[in-house]
Amino acid sequence: MRRTLEPYLWLLFSGGGVVAALLLPVLVLLFGVLMPLGVVDWPTAEHLRALADNVLVRLALLAVVVLCLFHAAHRIRFTSEELLGIARFDLVIAVICYGGAVVGAITAGLILF
């Protein structure tokens, strides 16, 4: 019996979906609506720098970015195969999608640390 990575990819997909559903709307509300309208004050550069100096904050940001990237990669993979009818190229599409997510995760890790 041959084992596949599929369950782990679905785990990253679902984790990314949860993170995207819970955190991204809050960020859009804050930075896209409330701060431009003046309801909430913009954070100062010193405050953001002090926040980003904390290792736990950087790890949390990295987790959010990585999970969202893998969620997007999984969704793009299966949507493109279904809508475009190119399921015969599944391996190539999977390598491109998940490879892009890995490259993005490494880039985010290098930027944050």
Residue 6 clears pLDDT 90, i.e. is over it: no
CB count in 10 Å sphere of residue 68: 21
Residue 55, domain extent: 6-16+43-112
Residue 23, in any domain of the structure: no
Residue 31, in any domain of the structure: no
pLDDT confidence of 4, banded at 50, 70, 90?
A: confident
Residue 59, in any domain of the structure: yes
By C-alpha distance, which of 79, 71, 65 is closest to 9? 71
User: Model confidence over 29-65: pLDDT tens digits?
Assistant: 999 999 999 999 999 999 999 999 999 999 999 999 9
Are residues 15 and 67 in contact, defined by beta-carbon separation less than 8 angstroms?
Answer: yes
Burial of 26 (0-12, 13-18, 19+ CB in 10 A): exposed
Query: How high is the pLDDT of residue 5?
Result: 85
User: Model confidence over 84-101: pLDDT tens digits?
Assistant: 888 889 899 999 999 999
